[in-house]
């Protein structure tokens, strides 16, 4: 298998015998007395039962070798070992060790490994912390293993298929972060039910989601939504292996309703609970259609509550926030502009309809945070409040002058501005990070022009565009269940019952323990 990942700082590819001299130099620098000799290293790097990676400084493999790592797995055996991992002193702190480990774990999973082992010095807490974060547990200590330093070795193990049940887990997911009460049920990566009850109509007269109304509506909708989901999946509560619930980001009160219900269920049926990140759920939903998430991928998540651009190297271990809106969310901009144009709530579909026959070039509305000066500090951030004000000003001026207002032209031009900024920044993120994939999520993905423009620009740059079915793009419980199942299948321990809601939960917190 040839795997390669790169960004501006380093490039990782499979190692070969051309790299041996540089590998030995780093081996000696890192391990001194304990270093392997050149023959052993040569044997391991080229052996059929091993998989070795090399990391280079800069965007290509022409740079200096700054790290390497190797995995060994005997065919037919379902266990594997991390044989070695080294990163040069000067290159530490850039996430290279983690990137190497993630690639090895990916390969181990591809080879159907069940358990993977490694040894780490007891006096190396930084490495231990990384391995623990990747799901390894400390299972044994070998006394004075490292000589002549007399240092103990920790033996660590990661179990890929550690589901106490020994089969794909049936997970029930609860989502209440905004105005959709979602209950979904999955078995592993298979969707069994996805029931959504929305309080959107109750917010219509306010022109936007009112948090208290949303929380109250969740309370009323939860039980019937849960019953419907179980009926759809043809299951009863005793068939559920685990509960997953969104604990953020979102509206605090609304989140608390789902969390309360999920904890009560978990206690009642005596099954583990997983508190998961809503935004990462939008990305993880892809496994329900494709069986796995192809990584690395950039994800653009656009809804009434969020506008975020993520770089996902690994769904459960490595999600990075590249940028987000600094004011209104994209959907919110649609809703507010719809109000200015005296259209109904939610504004997105209304504007899509109103834009039919309109000229998207009629008015050049501003593209937020896209000027050269903004592109330094806010390359991947968004801003829509200036755009909303520009539309309002345009209408106001026309009204003062008693000029006719061409709603179709305004709607088409506004929609063009939003789609243009979203797609430009998302494609930039793919190109900058050399990621050949873009995944879309969130309710705004329903927008016709956004879909069209994303497809056009992705095609032009050879980027694969993924748009899940709309019922999986908008907020739903199935994505939460799917992410919970991914965590379980990766051997993650459940959350305790002590977690609360976190309105501003960062994307790096995929699961709250």
Nearest to 299 by CA among 327, 273, 318: 318
CB 109: neighbour CB atoms within 10 A? Answer: 16
Choosing among ligand KG4, Zn ion, none, which partner's interface includes residue 468 (Cβ < 5 to 8 Å by kind)? none
Is residue 188 a contact point for ligand KG4 (CB under 6 A)?
no
Site for ligand KG4 contains 352 (CB under 6 A): yes
- CA distances, 511 to each of 68, 133, 157 (Å): 29, 11, 20
> Is residue 178 involved in binding ligand KG4 (CB under 6 A)?
yes
List the one residue from 27, 472, 475, 484 that touches Zn ion (CB under 5 A): 475
Q: Which stretch binds Zn ion (CB under 5 A): 26-34, 47-55, 165-173, 302-310?
A: 302-310
In this chain, which residue has its C-beta nearest to ligand KG4? Answer: 348
Helix crossing, 347-354 with 407-432: angle to 10°?
Answer: 110
Q: Are 115 and 82 a contacting pair, CB within 8 Å? A: no
Least Cα distance to 137 among 511, 490, 414 occurs for: 490
Angle between helices 330-340 and 407-432 (to 10 degrees): 170
Least Å distance, CB 177 to ligand KG4, is 8
Q: Is 135 in the site for ligand KG4 (CB under 6 A)?
A: no
Q: Is residue 416 a contact point for ligand KG4 (CB under 6 A)?
A: no
Q: Which is nearer to ligand KG4, 154 or 334 (CB)?
A: 334
What letter would DSSP give residue 368? T
179 binds ligand KG4 (CB under 6 A): yes
Partner interacting with residue 476 (select from ligand KG4, Zn ion, none; CB below 5-8 Å by kind): none
Look at residues 225, 281, 223, 278 and name the one whose alpha carbon lies nearest to residue 255: 278
Q: Which does 360 bind (CB under 5 to 8 A by kind): Zn ion, ligand KG4, none?
A: none
Q: Which of ligand KG4, Zn ion, none has residue 97 at its interface (CB below 5 to 8 Å by kind)?
A: none
> Please, what is the minimum distance in Å from the beta carbon of residue 198 to ligand KG4?
8
Name the token pair of 279. 């935004």
If you count DSSP H runs as helices and E runs as strands, how many of each does the chain have, helices first?
Answer: 17, 19
Helix axes 20-31, 38-46, angle to 10 degrees: 120
Q: 120 or 178, CB closer to ligand KG4?
A: 178
Among residues 29, 1, 11, 30, the alpha carbon closest in space to that of 100 is found at 11
258 touches ligand KG4 (CB under 6 A)? no
Strand partners, 175: 182
188, 272, 284, 348: residue in contact with ligand KG4 (rule CB under 6 A): 348
304 touches ligand KG4 by CB under 6 A: yes
Based on CB atoms, which residue is closest to ligand KG4, 334 or 380? 334
Distance of closest approach, residue 379 Cβ to ligand KG4, in angstroms: 24
By the 8 A CB rule, do 481 and 229 touch? no
d(CA 430, CA 419): 16
Encoded tokens for 144: 């004075």
Number of residues that bind ligand KG4 (CB under 6 A): 22
| Identity of the residue, 356 or 371, whose beta carbon is nearer to ligand KG4 in the bound complex | 356
Choose the one of Zn ion, ligand KG4, none that binds residue 44, judging by a C-beta under 5 to 8 angstroms depending on kind. none
Q: Which of 88, 474, 486, 501 binds ligand KG4 (CB under 6 A)?
A: 474
Nearer to ligand KG4, 250 or 323 (CB): 250
Please identify which residue in 58, 260, 349, 366 interacts with ligand KG4, judged by CB under 6 A. Answer: 349
Q: Does 246 bind Zn ion (CB under 5 A)?
A: no
**Residue 189 or residue 303: which is nearer to Zn ion going by CB?**
303
Q: Which is nearer to ligand KG4, 208 or 260 (CB)?
A: 208
SS3 state of residue 63? coil
Is 250 a binder of ligand KG4 (CB under 6 A)? no
- Residues 279/301, Cβ–Cβ less than 8 Å: yes
295 binds Zn ion (CB under 5 A): no
Identify the helix (H) or strand (E) that includes residue 437: strand 437-441
CA-closest candidate to residue 246, choices 499, 474, 508:
499
Please state the φ and ψ torsions of residue 492, each to the nearest 5 degrees.
-75, 145
Chain residues that interact with ligand KG4, rule: CB under 6 A: 178-180, 303-305, 331-332, 334-335, 346-349, 352, 442-444, 446-447, 474-475
Chain residues that interact with Zn ion, rule: CB under 5 A: 303, 475
């Amino acid at each position: 298998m040839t795997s390669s990942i790169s960004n501006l700082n380093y490039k990782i590819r499979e190692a070969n015998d051309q790299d041996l001299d540089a590998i030995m130099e780093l081996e000696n620098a890192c391990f001194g007395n304990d270093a392997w000799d050149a023959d052993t290293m040569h044997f391991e790097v080229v052996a059929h039962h091993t998989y070795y990676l090399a990391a280079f400084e800069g965007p290509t493999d022409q740079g200096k070798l700054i790290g390497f790592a190797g995995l060994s797995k005997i065919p037919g055996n379902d266990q594997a070992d991390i044989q070695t991992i080294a990163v040069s002193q000067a290159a530490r702190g850039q996430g290279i060790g983690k990137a190497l480990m993630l690639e090895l774990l990916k390969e181990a999973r591809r080879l159907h490994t069940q358990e993977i082992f490694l040894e780490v010095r007891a006096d190396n807490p930084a490495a231990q912390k990384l391995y623990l974060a990747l799901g390894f547990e400390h299972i044994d200590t070998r006394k004075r293993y490292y000589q002549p330093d007399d240092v103990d070795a920790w033996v660590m193990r990661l179990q890929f298929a550690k589901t106490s049940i020994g089969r794909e887990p049936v997970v029930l997911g609860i989502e209440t972060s905004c105005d959709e009460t979602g209950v979904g049920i999955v078995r592993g990566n298979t969707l069994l039910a996805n029931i959504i009850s929305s309080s959107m109509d109750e917010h219509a007269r306010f022109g936007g989601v009112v948090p208290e109304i949303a929380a109250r509506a969740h309370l009323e909708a939860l039980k019937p939504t849960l019953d419907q989901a179980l009926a759809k999946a043809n299951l009863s509560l005793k068939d559920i292996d685990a509960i997953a619930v969104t604990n953020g980001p979102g509206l605090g009160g609304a989140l608390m309703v789902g969390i309360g219900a999920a904890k009560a269920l978990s206690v009642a049926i005596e099954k583990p609970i997983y508190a998961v990140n809503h935004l990462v759920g939008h990305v993880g939903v892809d496994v329900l259609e494709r069986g796995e998430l192809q990584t690395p991928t950039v994800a653009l998540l656009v809804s009434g509550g969020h506008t975020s651009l993520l770089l996902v190297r690994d769904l459960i271990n490595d999600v990075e926030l590249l940028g987000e809106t600094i004011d209104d969310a994209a959907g919110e901009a649609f809703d507010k502009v719809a109000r200015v144009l005296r259209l109904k709530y939610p504004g997105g579909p209304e504007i899509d309809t109103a834009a039919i026959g309109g000229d998207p070039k009629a008015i050049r509305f501003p593209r937020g945070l896209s000027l050269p000066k903004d592109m330094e500090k806010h390359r991947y951030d968004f801003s829509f409040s200036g755009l909303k004000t520009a539309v309002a000003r345009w209408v106001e001026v026309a009204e003062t002058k008693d000029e006719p207002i061409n709603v179709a032209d305004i709607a088409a031009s506004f929609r063009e501005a939003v789609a243009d900024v979203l797609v430009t920044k998302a494609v930039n993120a793919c190109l900058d990070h050399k990621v050949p994939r873009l995944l879309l999520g969130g309710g705004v993905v329903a927008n016709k022009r956004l879909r069209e423009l994303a497809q056009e620009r992705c095609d032009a740059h050879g980027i694969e565009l993924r748009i899940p079915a709309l019922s999986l793009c908008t907020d739903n419980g199935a994505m939460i269940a799917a992410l919970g199942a991914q965590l379980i299948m990766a051997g993650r321990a459940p959350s305790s019952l002590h977690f609360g809601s976190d309105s501003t939960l960062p994307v790096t917190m995929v699961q709250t323990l």
